[in-house]
Chain A
């Protein structure tokens, strides 16, 4: 009998604000230890937290994007536990009334469309960092991260495999980056995932779950879940019970191991934080933010298919990030809508391959949309053969010209379509390849290609192969 895997994710999305959620200290990554930890962040007595408006705006944008309910009134609560990187002895979070409840993320896995429902998304502050390398047998505490705004997004246990969990996490990541509410930098901890994993026999109630903490890459998420599922099934098949607990994934060994028993840590003794008043969000404020929202990836994908006649696959790839979608639209605007498919091909082909090779993202693309459009226009009007187009692309990439025209001009790469210039090349090719000529005349179509190839070579790639083929055909059958 088979096992069914059940996965729910809790994702900590670090919000892209200048200042912290309850203080005016900076959030920038990479500062020297404790240089961005003010009196509020380190919990000196007598300080008072005041909520950062920008963090609330981020939460509203997210709520709108996932179709969740944005609470007109939500409350901050103290989550009490002791840990040295939490100087107050509690984390300010939201408990009974989160700012966002419900909503869903729709994504594709292979050819299938999947929906994962969200339970809630709440605002909270991040903790500091413990540095466990040895300081004379002590632990070092850096509180720069303390008070950094987070949106914790909690999904329903709607995922049934590691691949599904990864696809959901990627879709969520793409969305928060798209909305501009998170920088998405996973190495710097801007997007951290906890995975709740359990297994059960199909149709039976949920099994006991174990929570894998703090996964900061999609690859680790996949590996950790796969290991955990294997481990749980083995335990159950050996007749042992799963104990609810928190586990850590060790990337070096690829295994998960229990961290601490959750029974006790579970008692967070939440209560409303008397330092903060209820957060009110008016319908007018929501409407104002809704009006400023970028077009969402789903809507844009559909529009690309209808407005530019792109296949679903192309539209999906081009809307995988807002920067890529904008690059595409700007190129199409300059190249003309009739060239949209060619633009898509170039971006998904040459441009993507080149960016990949140089480990760059589209934001760092040395080629501008206008430059790419200039190239595509010259292919469309027959000035450039596809072979020359690749060389012009290369030159533009290396910054060797302002646009395609400048490069064509400077190198004399204009495609030769003047028949008086091509004529001698045709004669030469015919004279030198009597065998191909004979074969073609005997009805072997392929023999013509060899002749076209000769002419193209002699022209330095500047002749138009279609035109050459046509002229040759006329000559040989004449």
Chain B
């Protein structure tokens, strides 16, 4: 499977990764090798096999509807670069 330069630029943008055109070319080649590696799986005959949603064939455990977490706001806020009035502050979001 081959990737184009513009596909790599688009993927990088969607993932919010800033890359230079030179880096994009390196990435393009590396990603192509990864895809080729994973592409080996396409050789397996999966006719009649139901796709799995998870590598482990078990089902989701459910938790009871109970409040088990206490308020640890001060500890969490201390990890953030900027806070005020109990809020995390981020660069201005403009809609």
Contacts and interface: CB of A to CB of B under 8 A. Distances in A.
Nearest to A260: B95
Contact of B61 (A40, A50, A131, A248): A50
B59 interface: yes
Contact of A279 (B59, B77, B87): B59
B54 interface: yes
B44 interface: no
B85 A25 contact: no
Interface string A49-61: 0111111100000
A140 B69 contact: no
A83 to B, nearest CB: 8
A278 B53 contact: yes
B65 A50 contact: no
Interface string A344-358: 000000000000000
B76 A34 contact: yes
Given A53-B64, A139-B92, A141-B88, A42 B76 contact: yes
A132 B87 CA distance: 12
Contacts of B76: 34, 37, 39, 42, 44
A140 B60 contact: no
Interface stretch (A15-23, A304-312, A423-431, A449-457): A15-23
A138 B54 contact: no
B49 interface: no
B48 to A, nearest CB: 18
Given A32-B86, A39-B76, A143-B88, A25 B60 contact: no
Give the dominant DSSP class at B's interface: loop
Interface in A111-147: 130-132, 135-143
Contact of A259 (B85, B93, B95): B95
Contacts of A83: 93
Contacts of A267: 14
Give the dominant DSSP class at A's interface: loop
A135 B88 contact: no
B58 A277 contact: yes
The interface centre, meaning the residue of B61, B85, B88 with most chain A CB atoms within 10 A of its CB, is: B88
A53 B62 CA distance: 5
Given A19-B65, A19-B66, A23-B69, A135 B60 contact: no
B71 interface: yes
A287 B14 CA distance: 44
Nearest to B65: A54
Contacts of A276: 54, 60
The interface centre, meaning the residue of B60, B66, B82 with most chain A CB atoms within 10 A of its CB, is: B60
B90 interface: yes
Q: Which 9 A-B pairs have the closest CB atoms?
A: A24-B68, A140-B87, A54-B65, A38-B69, A53-B62, A33-B86, A75-B53, A277-B60, A280-B59
Interface of A: 17-19, 23-26, 32-40, 42, 44, 50-56, 73, 75, 80, 82-84, 97, 130-132, 135-143, 248, 259-260, 264, 267, 269, 272, 274, 276-280
Interface of B: 14, 16, 53-56, 58-69, 71-73, 76-77, 82, 84-93, 95
14 contacts: A18-B65, A23-B69, A26-B69, A33-B87, A37-B73, A39-B72, A39-B76, A50-B61, A50-B62, A54-B64, A130-B93, A138-B89, A140-B85, A278-B60
